[in-house]
Amino acid sequence: MTSATLNIDLTAVVRNWQALNALTDCETGAVVKASGYGLGAGVVARALARAGARHFFVATAHEGAELRTSIGHGQDIYVFSGHMDGDTTAIEEAGLIPLLNSVDQMLRQVEALPGAPFGIQLDTGMNRLGMEPAEWSAVRDIAIAQKPVLLMSHLACSDTPDHPMNAQQLAQFRTMTDGVDIPRSLAATGGTLLGPAYHFDLTRPGVGLYGGLPFDGAEAVVTLDMPVIQIRDVAVGETVGYSNTWTAKRPSRIATVSGGYADGLIRAIGNGAILYNGDVACPIVGRVSMDLITADVTDAHGIPEVLQLIGPHQGVDALADFADTIGYEILTAFGGRYHRTYTE
């Protein structure tokens, strides 16, 4: 079975990075965790490094080690999960910068890798990762004496600009870090859009680079073209797919395309998503199955060979809306089965 083609426009990724960079007077990093939001961390990071990005962020030391192999030693790679038990070799050999989340992690770091660079993640209210205010007060002077390279925190509600949590976390971050002469970072994509008060020394956009909300000025990055495996004509009253959820109300032509929920096209997108034959909308009919999707191509021009699920007519966030989820989840769910092509 021929797999669907996921095209990633690296020039659009670079332009999105440049556009976010142009919004600030500080450094702009790039978050490439989860295989670069499903698009390929190594290729994305190499393109951004050529464009001038010097700071990359991943979730785990394992991701960091892989990224180091792809990009070489010119750029910083920070690890959000910090220094976990078992990470020391990867951190040391790949020259990663763990963002330490607790006193336990700090002890592990200074015992295992004395003198090696690290940053500190502070919890300013999200209650997910980072040292709590009380914990930080207790170790702050000792920690700062070890010269961390970055102090960072993460916003819980930055996709909602007028949410009071934003100002509250900003104030907490300032209380915890003002007066300390160490670079600071608070903003991901959403925070970058909140304005200069949130920028500090380094921003960490992820989803905006890949064309996703909340960066509504982003250029689209992804197109997904799905090859048609088979076409059939069905009569009024015939059903399509598992559980007979769709019944033909007119004589209809049905195309079966290669790709399904095992490729991250979760079943819930069937609740409204459309495959496009050029400009002609061919609605998904019947259930999305593991490897296949069926669409009504009665109105298509001729016999389509390929139908487009993600592209100018329907972006990643539009697809996410049908499934009542967010673009991030659609992107990171793309599996390993696609033929990935890159436009440079």
Ligand X SMILES: *Cc1c(COP(=O)(O)O)cnc(C)c1O
* Minimum separation from the CB atom of position 330 to ligand X (A): 13
Nearest distance from C-beta of residue 58 to ligand X, angstroms:
10
Rounded to a whole number of angstroms, the minimum distance from the CB of residue 99 to ligand X is 8
119 versus 286: smaller Cβ distance to ligand X:
119
Q: Is the distance from CB of 300 to CB of 260 less than 8 angstroms?
A: no
Closer residue to ligand X (CB): 135 or 329: 329
Count of helix runs (H) and strand runs (E) in the chain? 11, 19
Cβ nearer to ligand X, comparing 289 with 332:
332
Provide the strand spans (E) within 193-317: 202-203, 222-234, 239-240, 246-247, 252-258, 274-277, 280-283, 292-296, 306-310
Are 87 and 109 in contact, with CB atoms under 8 Å apart? no
| 339-343 and 5-9 strand pairing | parallel
**Closest approach of ligand X to the CB of residue 152, in Å:** 7
User: Cβ neighbours of residue 34 under 8 Å, at least 6 residues apart?
Assistant: 59, 63, 332
Kindly tell me which of 31 and 234 has the beta carbon lying closer to ligand X: 31
Q: How many Cβ atoms sit within 10 Å of the Cβ of residue 223?
A: 18
CA neighbours within 13 Å on the CB side: how many for 68? 19
Binding site for ligand X (CB under 6 A): 31, 33, 80, 154, 188-190, 204-208
Residue tagged active-site, from 33, 198, 261, 328: 33
Minimum distance from CB of 206 to ligand X (Å)? Answer: 3
For β-strands 151-152 and 119-121, DSSP reports them as parallel
342 annotated active-site = no
d(CA 147, CA 149): 6
Looking at the Cβ atoms of 208 and 315, the one nearer to ligand X is: 208
Catalytically annotated residue among 198, 210, 242, 328 = 242
242 is annotated as an active-site residue: yes
Tabulate helix, strand, coil % of the chain (nearest 5): 35, 25, 40
Measure the CA–CA gap between 212 and 334, rounded to whole angstroms.
15
Other residues' Cβ atoms within 10 Å of the Cβ of residue 334: 24
Tell me how far apart the alpha carbons of residues 120 and 268 are, in angstroms, rounded to a whole number. 39
The residue among 117 and 208 lying less far from ligand X, judged by its C-beta, is 208
Kindly state the smallest distance separating residue 52's Cβ from ligand X, in Å: 18
Nearest residue to the partner ligand X, using Cβ: 206
- ∠129-131-134 over CA atoms, to 5°? 140
Catalytic residues: 33, 242
